[in-house]
Structure formats: C-alpha cells, structure tokens
Chain A
C-alpha cells in the first residue's frame, strides 16, 4: 500500500491543500477581509514546533528524560514579556522593518555592514536547522518505504533532494508574490496556522494510540518504565543538569523571537498588537498539548522495541507501523511534513528577504553604480533575487544535510541554530532600551559572539562528522590546552551548548557594552536610537521632518519609487500619501523633508532600511547634519515633551487647587451657617431671662398695689433671672475666648487633690441646703500636674453643681474620687440622679444643650458649663466624658495627664 508513488502523491496533495489555504487567505486579504484573527496569529506562532519537535522531542526524551521540556518552557517565559514584544512590533511598524537584520541595522544608523553581518550569521546559523527538516523528512520517508519494501527515485536523485526542490518551489510560490516585504503574507500565515492544527492533531493521535491502544494508559506506561532501572531514570529530574536546563531555557526563549521565521511571524506578520494577548496563553497551551505525549511515546518505543536498535527519532512513525496502523502512520507522516514545510517556508522567505535586501542589493548598488539608470523597473529583479535566494538556502541546507547531518541527532542540530540566533540578543535588547549602544558596539558584540559560536559549536559539529580534523576540539588550537573548543580556558564539565552560550554571551555582551561606551554615535545613529528607545513617546511627524535637510527633486524620488516598487504600486502609494497631506495630486507636493521621509520609508519596505537610505541619498542632496545638530534637535524634542509634561502637571495642580478652593468655600459657608445658628441660639438664650425680667418689672412698676407676697416672689424671680443673665453673658464670653484661643492660661504645678477638696468645700453650703450627701475619696501625695489651677477649679465646680442640680433632695448623693494612674490623674464625680440616655451623653457636651426635658426638670443652667469644661480639660491634654444609663445616675470623669518624665525629674531636682 505504501508505495513510493503513493507517498509522493499524498504529500503533493497535502501541499496542494496548503497552497489552496494560502490562496484563500491572500484573496481575503486583497478583498480587505483579513482572516488573521488572534487565534490564527497564536497558531501561526507554532511554526516554532518543527519536525524537530514532531520527531526529535521523542528521541531526546529517550536519552534526556524530561529535559526536552526546556525547549518549550523558554518560549512560554519569553512570551510573558509582552511589553518587550509589543515595543518590537511598534518599532517595526514605525520603521517599516522587514526582517531581524533590518531591525538591528536600522537601529544602529541604517548600517549596511550590520545588516549584512546579521544576515550572514542568520544564514549560517539557520542552514543546519533547515538541513534538520530535510533530514527528518527523509528519515520519515525512509521509514515508510522500508516498511513497504519499496524505494523511490526519480532520475537517480535521492528523495531528500527532491523534497528540497519541492519545498523551494513551494516557498517561492508562497513568499514572493509581493515585493514589499512589510506587506504581510496573510496567505502564508493562514497556511502556517492550518499546518499547526494538522501537526498537533497528528501527534496527539499517535500519542493516544500508543498510550491507550498499545499500552494500558499513562499509569501502565509509567509503572512499567519505573520498574526498569534504565527507564526509571528518564522520569526523574536530574539536578546535576540544572545548568543545562538553564542554558536551554534561555536559548529557546531567545529563539522564539530571534529565529528569522519567528521574528517574521511574531513581528513582521503581526496585524494587531492585541493579538499578542491571545498568543500569550494560547501558544503555551499549544506547546503543553503537543508535549503531553512525548514522554509516553518515548517510553512506549523503548519498551516495545527493546534492543532492536530502532532510531528513537522515528518512534512516532515506527510505533503505529509496528501495529500495522498504516493510516495512522500516514497521518503522522503528514503531521511531520506539516511541521517541516511550515518551518522551511517561513524561514526561507524571511532569510531570502534578508539576503536580497541586506547582502545582494548593497553589492549591486555599489558594484554597478549606474545600474539604477540602466534598468527602469527593478521590482522584477528584486523578486528574482529573492527566489534565487530561497533556492540557494535550501541547497545549502541540503549540502549541510549530506555533509554533517548524520553525526547529530535532530535536537543537537536545532540547538546549534538556537545558539547562533541568540547572538542577536544583546544588540536587539540593547538597541531597544539603551540609547548609548552604538554601531561599533553592535558590530563588535555580534562578531565576538559569532566567532565564539563558530569555534565552540559549529566547527566541532563539522569535526564530529569528519569534515575536518578534530584536533582543536581534543587538544586545543595549535595544541594549546586552554583553547580546546569545548573546554575554553579550562571550563570543562559543561555540556557543549551551555559552554557555548556562556562564552559567546560573555564575549558578545562584553564587546557590545565596552565598545559602545568608548565610541560616539554619528548623527543617524543618535536619531535612530531615539526613535527606537522612545518609540512610545516619539513625535514622529515633527521630529522626523527636522532630522532631514537638503534638496531633492520630486521627479527623481518618484522615479526611484517606480523603479523599486513597480509603477502601479508606486503610484498607488503616492496617491495615498498625497491624500494624507491633503493634496490632490502628488505632483503638487513640495519635495520637502516629509516627502523624502515618505519615499525612504516606502523603499525601506521593499529593499530594507540600509539600502533605502543609500538610494535616497543618491537622488537627494542631503545636507549633512552634524551629530551636534541632531542631538540638539532630539534634545529640543525631548524638551518639548518635558515642557508639555510640565504643562500637564501645572494643569493638574490648578485643578487640585480649584477643588481645594471649592472645598474651602464650602467649609466657610458651613462655618458661616454655624455662626448664624450660634448667634440665633445665643440671642434666644439671652432674651429668655430678659423676657421674665421685663414683664415682671413692668407689672410691678405699673401696679403699686400688687400684694406683698406676689411682689416679693416677683422680685426674687427678677433677681434670679438677672443673675442667670449675668452668668450667661460671662460664660458666652469665656467660651468665645476659649474657642478663639485668646484665653489666658497660667500654667503651674497643681495638686489635683487640693483642687478637688477646695471645690467641694466651696459648694458645701449648696449641698447642705438641698440636703444632698457629698463624699470624697481623695488620696494625698498625688503627683502634680501642669495646668491652670483656677480653670481646673472651674471644671470641678461645674461638675459638682451640675450633680447637685440633678439629684433629688434628701436622698441625693454625690461621690468624688481622685486617683493617679499610668501617666494621668483621673477624677470622677458620680451622682445618683436620673441618669442620661446614650444620646444625651453626647449632646450635653454641645453648646446650649441641657439635660432634662420637661418643665419641671428645667435646669437653671446656661447650657455652656460642660462645653467650657471640656474645652479646658482638652486644652491640658486630658479628656472629659460621662458614663451613664437612665435611672442609674451619671458618672462624669475627666483626666489630666502628668508631665512627661524628663520635665518631671528636672522639676524634682529644682
């Protein structure tokens, strides 16, 4: 059944289906109805899971146990840094970035040198990875053919080469439909997302088949594995390999954004920044699902093929085949095919853009200076270069596969690529967050890191496959021991990946930082640094325009655009640009800085920022802005920003001040109302006794015949009311003085016991008249308090006279207690009067609020005694309150604090 032709047909049919999906996506995009949703975006990120994941994870799990997981933990952690990725996307959109090489070059002054370096590193670094895909596909075809005993050859070429050819054709069809690399390949993204679904379905199907069909479920598998000493080891975390784990997590975390295809998918193909929020959890979930059955498959394979020498990298296929499940094996084959094609297509498209824009174009532009004049429309040439680049990259992959592929397992090759692209990290992150990073620094860092990578990882991989002598690995270069490629400077004991990561990052970061700090950026670099680092704050329109000064001919610029973009597209973009500036036709626009900026950014989309800059410079006579001048302009922009922030701050302050004023006004109005109420109440209190006095005295005055008893009674009332009036006026004045803070206080050492005894003595007569018992419990030798003696006497007399007023004659009883306790003296005046309700306990301390409600109870007070007493006590730092219940008498308590210990001791000495 599984003949070579059948497999070829099936694979071709599947690729055809992919192509249909891509065409559909492109058609929808052209119609303005993009199918790129947050889910599609998140799924397309799973292009990260290549055939290496599909076949290689199982292989790695058979030797390294759980360590295969690190390759998936790293990306998950990296995605959590949403802010970093969003900044990357924002910068790329603003700068029309086409690739990771373009990104780094653009940041460091649109440097062609840097762009070229990054491209070379990316190509050299990623070619092994592409070879790995070819190897995986070749191996899977071999497994299927071996099973059916067939073989497949066309014109004497091996199947791997044919696969490479088909993939090249397919990538060309997918990726080079449009010229503008910043224009998104929505069809390609859709196809990649589709493939992601296919590969996870296929992998899980095999996993379920093996786990539940061949074995008795997860429990059974793990039990059987645990029973074997060899397999049990795979289930445990090996703490001695923690260093390796860390290195792998870091590497894979960097790879998820710095592998050219990942940068392409995450940054360049991003339609909407908000899609990232979905990807943050959906992509890790995808990774989790695709990894669930890795260990069961590895264990299942080892148990099933115990000692048969089957390559663990092929378990995904060989396990179903061993049970004759050919359809499932074919599904697995399609899944692996999906994983490999997805990776190869996106990777080669990303790399071809880089090769074309950053390697070939600069060479063409330099070597044949007049070639721009010779050819009218260059867009066709550009596309041709990209197609050739795709073919070339796949060819390189094939060559690497033939040469070195056999020596390494799948995972090993992948990690070599990861370590290569990790070299971009310092220049990238530094460029995004550190304005001082310079081009020279980036060049030095990249170069240093790359060379270390080359020496410690790539060349040893060649040596292992017998391409070159392995002397430098075993004995060190020129036989110098500390130059051993995988134990540099005697650093042995690490695995090769950790070793390479450690030394290459040390060299890379060290060179980047050291050189950056010792070089000065030129004008373009400084302005680009500002644009990148401050992308969220950069006022592009204004500052961009000022950063360019010179003369340009509009015709020359338009011509340039037409040549590189093609006439139709150039005119379309020009018309859109003219519209955005409110002009009817682009011919009416002046060739000012803004126009030049527009042209350069359009060109950058097609040929990369570095080449675009060279092209624009060739037709526009740019006045060279000195570094000083650029820094001035940027500084000014910063100042304007700072100024507007200051203004905002001022405005906020003003608003706050307004609110405060309004509040103060409200408070004043409230105070005014309270004052009004107070005066009204005082007036009432003064008029009431005056009413009796006036009425009675008028009657006495008018009628001399009133009999003596009435006359005496009335005169008594008049005298009482006059006294009340006097008391009232005195107390109101006293209260006013206390409240305004103008009261005079004479502070001295006061013996509270003495004050209480004297007050009691002065009221003795009053108590005797009403036949009320007055008892005192006053210990002698109380500590002195610092207060106004007369004022405290006033409080005491007020409390005592209140008490005698409210207790019944005859049975009335008032007890006074004085006690010194922790830091204060406490005085209680307890009566057996009618008591107070809880509300009354509060209101009696308010002005003019007296206890007692009925006419018979109407006390002869002013309603100011207690408020005044409380003011006095509080002035000395004490408290005055009442504890009472209706029917249970009232207990008025006040405290006066003792002086602070130092004062006290000082005084005692004195």
Chain B
C-alpha cells in the first residue's frame, strides 16, 4: 500500500506542483489550503507525512504542528515544514515544535523527493 502524503499550502500553484510531483512518485496525496483544513484532513485522511507551509491564513504551520504533536495518536506522523522564510530562528522554532525536517523554498524537486522517501523508509 502506498504511503499517504498531505500537502498544506495557501499558494495554489505550489499545491499544484507538489501534488503532481508526489503523485508521480506513487504516493497517495491529499491537499489543504489553510491550517484548519489541514487539521480536518489529518483526521479524515490519516497521512504518513505532511508537507506543511508555515505562512498561512487562519492557522500558521507552526500552530498546526504544535496541535498535531500534542496528540499522541499522531506520534508516528512525519512533518516536513516548508517555508519561504529562511531565517535561522524560524528553522529552530519549527524543529523545536516537533517538525521532523525543515525545507526552504524554493526547493529542488529531486532533493525533496529523496528526502521524503528516506523519511518514509522507501529506498
């Protein structure tokens, strides 16, 4: 059974490209365009990994991450933060909140795919 990935971003074009990219690699993909929708999708879709944008309306990626990590049921869920803000403090904050990886936009598609696969144990 293929691994499930949830893509969360408020930029429609980024969602389009990530969705296409991940589907092509054979993952089951769901998308959400803001923090609240992301939490709802986590409950219904139960992804193995989340690609989570930080700067979003309604609920930021940091808040989503924090909420998810506060629920032990999501302990095994992998979270990759995606952000266009590359400041060190933000990287540190994301990791401190329980993110498993932190990727700065714009990213190399090849690297991102390799990284996701490594994290999911698919080599």
Contacts and interface: CB of A to CB of B under 8 A. Distances in A.
Contacts of B106: 687, 690-691, 693-695
Contacts of A720: 13
Interface in A703-727: 703, 710, 713-714, 717, 720-721
A855 interface: yes
B109 A854 contact: no
Contacts of A699: 17, 20-21, 24, 109
A139 interface: no
B117 interface: no
Interface in A105-129: none
A688 B14 contact: yes
A858 interface: yes
Contacts of B18: 695
Contacts of B84: 683-688, 691
Interface in B1-58: 10-18, 20-21, 24, 33-34, 55, 57-58
A853 interface: yes
A698 interface: yes
Contact of A695 (B21, B33, B87): B21
Contacts of A684: 55, 83-85
A831 to B, nearest CB: 22
B10 A855 contact: yes
Contacts of A698: 108-110
Given A687-B84, A699-B20, A692 B13 contact: yes
Nearest to B20: A699
B33 A855 contact: yes
A680 interface: yes
B105 A854 contact: no
Contacts of B17: 691-692, 695-696, 699, 714, 717
A697 to B, nearest CB: 9
B58 A680 contact: no
A687 B105 CA distance: 6
Contacts of A713: 16
A687 B10 CA distance: 14
Nearest to B108: A698
Interface in A837-864: 853-856, 858
Nearest to A853: B57
A494 B84 CA distance: 100
A831 B60 CA distance: 31
Interface in B69-123: 83-87, 104-110
A691 B108 CA distance: 9
A678 to B, nearest CB: 12
B14 A680 contact: no
Given A683-B85, A688-B84, A696-B17, A855 B105 contact: no
B32 to A, nearest CB: 9
15 contacts: A684-B83, A684-B85, A687-B104, A687-B105, A690-B106, A691-B11, A691-B17, A695-B14, A696-B16, A698-B108, A698-B109, A702-B109, A714-B20, A854-B33, A856-B33
Interface of B: 10-18, 20-21, 24, 33-34, 55, 57-58, 83-87, 104-110
The 6 A-B pairs of least Cβ separation, nearest first, read A855-B33, A687-B84, A692-B13, A695-B17, A691-B106, A691-B105
Given A680-B87, A696-B13, A714-B17, 17 more contacts: A683-B84, A684-B55, A687-B84, A688-B11, A688-B84, A690-B106, A692-B13, A692-B14, A692-B17, A696-B17, A702-B109, A714-B20, A717-B13, A854-B33, A854-B58, A855-B34, A858-B12
